[in-house]
Amino acid sequence: MPGFILSIDQGTTGSTVLLLSTEGEIVARASREFPQHFPHPGWVEHEPAEILESVSAAIRDALERGNARAEDCLGIGITNQRETVVVWDRETGEPIHRAIVWQDRRTAVRCRELEERGALREIRRRTGLVLDPYFSATKIEWILDHVPGARARAEEGRLAAGTIDSFLVHRLTGGAVHVTDATNASRTLLYDLQRGDFDDDLARLFRVPRGMLPEVRSSSEVYGHTKGFPGLPDGIPIAGMAGDQQAALFGQTCFEVGDAKCTYGTGAFLLTHVGTRPVHSAHGILATVAWRLGGQDHFALEGSTFVAGAAVQWLRDGLGILEHSAEVETYAKQVPDTGGVYFVPALTGLGAPYWDPEARGLICGITRGTTRAHLCRATLEGIAFQIAELGDAMAADAGKKIKRLRVDGGASANDTLMQMQADFLGVEVDRPSSIETTALGAAFLAGLGVGVFSDLDDVRRAYRVDKTFEVLLRTDEREQRLASWREAVARARNQAVTR
């Protein structure tokens, strides 16, 4: 197979590699999982060496399955779990601590301290984010404070810090390059959206020496070339990078203002392209960089729900009413509606637009006539309602309604859920022929970087819609259902007070 783009999707539980032809077709795929480490309750860590091994093995497997020669690789794209950080020695390249993962909550007390000092307002204004241990800055600070001698070494310029994209590029180039792209930088709490770079004041606030941080580059350009990486010859250009959700937005070709995508996994992430100026939310939505191309930053609004596919997993593992997760659609289709049942899947609190960690899951409207089928249908509706609320909040912030929604991730294969999403959001929903658009987005960015794709129109031609779900619910019915959903949400939030 002469000439292909290699895309590395480095995720939270494993690494996936795609080989993409110059026509935009996926010709091979391989994945390798790696261990999760939980040294204390609320702590989540990854061993950087295990991440590298999973990437190397997935590359080897993909090349074998695609009957491809590594020498024919035209460029490499990288997408990654965001917010997860590594700190390493500049001279040896060796990490000084395990990677601290985005899920890790060890710095919650530090975040509360900063909020009590009145830092939140300025942080939101500059970064578009909330003050939460989810993001990278307090993780870097923690490593410097808890690894003996680390802070002194960092002040001397002997340590480097970065998100997983930075660490991968550093290793792929044999230690020659220390860069990140604007999308990943914008998830650190250290990046000023207006200036388009890391901010000295924020670095001082979080006690992160500015010299540790990588150079911020665009999402599509040649950052460096491979050198000494297992399974790859030297000299392959690394030419595209974006955090996983932004890569999915690009992979879904959401290039116009108002274009939106939702990725359905354990949770769900809705991103809407808002143009070349950041939009700061009044409704609990995050502002973030969508991508940087040709020196121009494009921005997105981002909303996340903590529980999407996890609600179905709870039906399976917690209640035992499903043997396999895929059965949820089979049962949901057995009834025309939920029989008045609403399920608010606040199993770990509520994310945007509420940001209520004390909310608890709620199932209401149960009668003697309620069956497993009604509960399964209510679960799918609960997922779709959450995304509909995010879409309405984003429309209020941006002053423009989402034009249509493009979907990806495992649960997007569920036709019943996708029809509900179209109905509750009030826009058509497009599902592409490949729902692995995160890796596809990284490949598109790399393809632009090495000239396989000449421009965004060329990328659009490589994107293919498999199925469109049209809106079947009347507007008045949609509003009534959403009003009932919000009543259920209010009850779920009130449980934190009354229990």
- Of residues 34 and 220, the one with the higher pLDDT is 220
Residues 231 and 259 in one domain: no
pLDDT digits (tens, 9 = 90+) for 344-381: 998 877 877 887 777 888 999 999 999 999 999 999 99
Mean pLDDT of 244-256: 93
Identify the DSSP state of 411.
Answer: G
Residues 12 and 104 in one domain: yes
CB 202 within 8 A of CB 123: yes
Angstrom distance (rounded) from CA 439 to CA 25: 12
CB 343 within 8 A of CB 318: no
Residues 374 and 311 in one domain: yes
DSSP letter string over 191-244?
Answer: EETTTTEE-HHHHHHTT--GGGSPEEE-SEEEEEE--S-TTS-TTPEEEEEEEH
CB 187 within 8 A of CB 163: yes
Residue 146 belongs to a domain: yes
Residues 208 and 114 in one domain: yes
Residues 208 and 343 in one domain: no
When computed from its CA atoms, the radius of gyration of the chain, rounded to whole angstroms, is: 22
Residue 245 belongs to a domain: no
Residue 437 belongs to a domain: yes
Residues 100 and 223 in one domain: yes
Residues 350 and 487 in one domain: yes
HSE at residue 171, side-chain half, CA atoms within 13 A, is: 22
Strands 268-275 and 465-469, how do they pair? unpaired
Residues 320 and 362 in one domain: yes
User: Which of these, 283, 286, 13, lies nearest to 123 by C-alpha position?
Assistant: 286
Angstrom distance (rounded) from CA 240 to CA 452: 12
pTM of the model: 0.87
- Of residues 446 and 132, the one with the higher pLDDT is 446
Mean pLDDT of 302-314: 85
pLDDT digits (tens, 9 = 90+) for 426-442: 999 999 988 778 889 99
Q: What is the pLDDT of residue 42?
A: 78
Residue 246 belongs to a domain: no
Q: 65: which residues sit within 8 A by CB, 6+ positions away?
A: 28, 29, 30
Mean pLDDT of 196-212: 94
Tokens of 432: 């592409």
User: Which of these, 195, 193, 201, lies nearest to 129 by C-alpha position?
Assistant: 193
Residue 258 belongs to a domain: yes
CATH code, domain with 363: 3.30.420.40
Domain range enclosing 366? 253-499
Q: What is the pLDDT of residue 472?
A: 94
Domain boundary among 185, 203, 235: 235
Q: How many domains would you assign to the chain?
A: 2
Residues 43 and 131 in one domain: yes
Residue 247 belongs to a domain: no
Residue 341 belongs to a domain: yes
Residues 315 and 380 in one domain: yes
Q: Is the pLDDT of residue 220 over 50?
A: yes
Residue 248 belongs to a domain: no
